Structure 1
Amino acid sequence: MTEVLVRALRPADPADTTAFAAVRRACLPAMLATSASVAYDAAHAHPDAHYLQLVAETDGEVIGTAQTGIAFDSPEPGQGSANIYVHPERRGIGAGSLLLRTAEEHLAGKGATTLYSWVLDTPENRAFATRRGYRASRSAHFLRLDLAKGDLPPRPPLPAGVELRTGADFAADPRPFFDLDAETAADEPSDVAAELTDYEHWLAETWQHPLMNHELTTVAVVDGRPAAFSMARTDDASRYASGMTGTARAHRGRGLAKLAKNDSLHRARAAGYTEAFTGNDAGNAPMLAINDWFGYRICDTEVRHVRTLG
């Protein structure tokens, strides 16, 4: 019988972080991960998140991963998350079960009373979650756009009073960008409400993250203030992902988010990126419609599951 060992990730070991990222890419290509981003996540997690990355290995080979933590920025305490991924070619030998059990024990010890887990929408993965006491909640889609071969909508004329800037234009003072991100995040559909209030942590976790691409991020500015944005994340290959796209409440209904995202996609293609990914809550019809207009197509679906610890 193959023996599986679960342990904490060694973030200072490039071989470990590279293997972690490789498993994530094999399981969910739309979720960007690099050795540098995995190490960075470990080093810059908020202390109240009790963030822990786990790996499952057999014969020294990393075959599964887990990302666990507490939603410290939620107004409701005790909400934890455990997202488990096992390489598609190494399933069925107990790695997922051991990763989940280890993650649950860690989170329970840090005060979690409710656990959420994103589960790939396949019969096998959903059955795995159900057998372990998790019930299905909301779902979300990952979408892919072929930047190399697909046709993007043309850039329209800018509305009067609107200008497009890049994230790099806010390098000296990212605070206005943070304020807009916080406002849009508060309205994002989710089982767990989020409140972005810690600017210094946002700088470390989001603005300075190695996947964040300031040059390809587009911000629509009205009267000198950011009104809408499309945040770009890129890996060290040829993949681009929309980290977040949103509009301030006072400017919604004007097509500014679509304008910003279109500009970012055009510039990403010009920079040589060949694939674009994004993700939407399955109930977010307006954003799904916008992405369909761009030419995105669903490539994966995950279903969020929840379990109450007793």
Structure 2
Amino acid sequence: MTVLVRDLRSDDPADVAAFARVRHLALPFILWTPQAVVHHLLHTHPDARSRSLVAEEDGEVIGTAQIGLVHDSPEPGQAYLNIYVRPDRVRRGAGGLLVRTAEEHLATEGARKLFAWVLDEPAHLAFAERHGYERRRSAHFLRLGLADSTLPPPPPLPPGVELRTAADFADDPRPMFELDAETLADEPSDVAMEFTDYEAWLAETWRHPLLNRELTSVAVADGRPVAFSVAYTDGGTRYSSAMTGTVRAHRGRGLAKLTKTDSLRRARAAGCTEAFTGNDTDNGPMLAINKWLGYEVCGTEVRYVRELG
């Protein structure tokens, strides 16, 4: 049996569906749809030098990789590679070949530091360390059964705050861009990032096929968005919190808890039955909110890094 690595064919629906299927099997805590896979491939900023790869064995897609430069970081030379192989097709050389292909591409594009998320399981961790990657921080995946749980009542609205949705900003999304940019800057991360390109944000984030603007709850004060809980949905019954944050001037008022509770209640009313979210393991305040909402840890990933010579 022969394993080869090639670029994903974005114009081939079967190839895209196979990519999404591998990702779902390997990482069921994140929403994967063919539309989202194509969107990432076609709308990631050109400066990222992004590629989506597949590992194919005798015509069957058994592994995937999404790789690129972190072009919106103030520190040049940083890159990412996230590689997943079907759980029932491991130990066939697909993962190693994807790593080698990804590293060669990223080094050619000027990468000096490579970051990867790795499932916190012995075989996965050992694989990363065999390839020269060093362990850093970790993050939890959490799950909430919306159909069989009782959500707590929403916290009271603080004075001067109203709840709206992202759909209310469809005509002028720039205030949402500004909110996203400020909250992202304070998100726990190994890589500093800055949102400065509004047009790129529109293409990559605002028009993302998983973004559900009607279920994305936004707290507004003095006429501007100051907190939000971003909702992704897969077109079926699965929901995911893509980001929850508050601008610095309005922290400590319970707005993160307020918007996340409101978004989840909207999601359940819209027919969603399963909710996912993710948290850095050191993000105590957000973990406390999720525990209060009823989320339970269902998986963990570890951040690994390798510096190229």
**Which bracket does the TM-score occupy, shorter chain normalised?**
over 0.9
Residue type of the alignment partner of 1:241: S
Where do residues 153-192 of structure 1 align in structure 2 (5 Å cutoff)?
Answer: 153-192=152-191
Match of 2:298 in 1: 299
Mapped partners of 1:91, 1:23: distance in 2: 12
Match of 1:251 in 2: 250
Whether the aligned pair in 1 keeps the contact of 2:158 and 2:253 (CA below 8 Å) is no
Residue type of the alignment partner of 1:122: E
Structure 1 portions without partners, runs of 5+: none
Q: Output the TM-score relative to the length of structure 1.
A: 0.98
Mapped partners of 2:19, 2:104: distance in 1: 21
Task: Give the superposition deviation at 1:273.
Answer: 0.6
Mapped partners of 2:99, 2:290: distance in 1: 33
Task: Report the number of matched residues.
Answer: 309
Residue type of the alignment partner of 2:231: A
Listed one character per residue, the Cα deviations across residues 171-202 of structure 1 (whole Å, up to 9, x for unaligned) are 00000111011000000010000101111100
Match of 2:307 in 1: 308
Match of 1:13 in 2: 12
Mapped partners of 2:57, 2:22: distance in 1: 14
SS at match of 2:116: strand
Mapped partners of 2:163, 2:87: distance in 1: 42
Residue type of the alignment partner of 2:8: L
Task: Give the superposition deviation at 1:155.
Answer: 2.3
Task: Give the superposition deviation at 1:79.
Answer: 0.5
Structure 2 portions without partners, runs of 5+: none
Whether the aligned pair in 1 keeps the contact of 2:141 and 2:299 (CA below 8 Å) is yes
Question: 4+ residue runs of structure 1 moved beyond 4 angstroms?
Answer: none
SS at match of 2:178: helix
Match of 1:274 in 2: 273
Whether the aligned pair in 2 keeps the contact of 1:34 and 1:236 (CA below 8 Å) is no
Where do residues 37-116 of structure 1 align in structure 2 (5 Å cutoff)?
Answer: 37-116=36-115
Whether the aligned pair in 1 keeps the contact of 2:135 and 2:304 (CA below 8 Å) is yes
Task: Give the superposition deviation at 1:90.
Answer: 0.4
Residue 175 of structure 2 is aligned to residue 193 of structure 1? no
Residue type of the alignment partner of 1:147: L
Alignment identity in percent?
A: 68
Residue type of the alignment partner of 1:196: F
Mapped partners of 2:112, 2:281: distance in 1: 26
SS at match of 2:135: strand
Mapped partners of 1:227, 1:71: distance in 2: 26
SS at match of 1:84: strand
Q: Output the TM-score relative to the length of structure 2.
A: 0.99
Task: Give the superposition deviation at 1:156.
Answer: 3.3
Task: Give the superposition deviation at 1:252.
Answer: 0.2
Match of 1:32 in 2: 31
Mapped partners of 1:150, 1:23: distance in 2: 30
Residue type of the alignment partner of 1:74: S
Mapped partners of 1:192, 1:111: distance in 2: 16
Whether the aligned pair in 2 keeps the contact of 1:120 and 1:302 (CA below 8 Å) is yes
Mapped partners of 1:181, 1:8: distance in 2: 31
Task: Give the superposition deviation at 1:158.
Answer: 2.0
Residue type of the alignment partner of 2:167: A
Mapped partners of 1:211, 1:74: distance in 2: 24
SS at match of 1:260: helix
Task: Give the superposition deviation at 1:148.
Answer: 0.8
Listed one character per residue, the Cα deviations across residues 69-104 of structure 1 (whole Å, up to 9, x for unaligned) are 000011110001111100000001100000110000
Match of 1:150 in 2: 149
